[in-house]
Amino acid sequence: MSESYVECLVKARQNVMAKALMILLIVLGVAALIAAFLFGLFWLIIFAIGFGIGAYFAARYINVEYEYLYIDKELVIDKIYNQEKRKRIATYSFDKIQVIAPVKSYHLANFGKLSDKPKDYSIGYEEQPDLRYVLFYEGQEQVLFSPNEELVKIMKNAAPRKVFSD
């Protein structure tokens, strides 16, 4: 029995909301600190510390990377926050996958459109050419992801009738 292992790491678009929240919390923290020292309102230092802690936690979710692992007929997707915290998002068995194809592939015509709000584990934007892929799983779940050529090749070798690279 042959065992296969391929991993692919892609950096997603920065979370704009978390970045804006972090900047707002920093500004509020600095303003509270200045007001505490100028007006002698030392209880504002507690708010400044709270804003600083909030900014720290918002900063942890700005940089997101996705890691795709192909391990013996399974595709595992992990989410990595700020290169520190890893979270397992999903595991997809190739026995239950219906099709994997590029976003604009004609092979996806029989499976519906991407208007159902697919789960997006990709880079987050459309490149030229668009290298994102769609995975239909058990007829219920649509997953958008951005594999590299090596991962597509190994998936195609594992399931040649389910994986298309157009």
The tokens for 134 are 């769609």
The tokens for 124 are 């987050």
pLDDT at 2 over 60: no
DSSP assigned state of 161: T
What is the model's pLDDT at position 1?
43
pLDDT tens by residue, 30-88: 999 999 999 888 889 999 999 999 999 888 888 899 999 999 889 999 999 988 899 99
Looking at the chain, the whole-number percentage of residues with pLDDT higher than 90 is 58
Full-model pTM:
0.81
d(Cα 151, Cα 130) in Å, to the nearest integer? 16
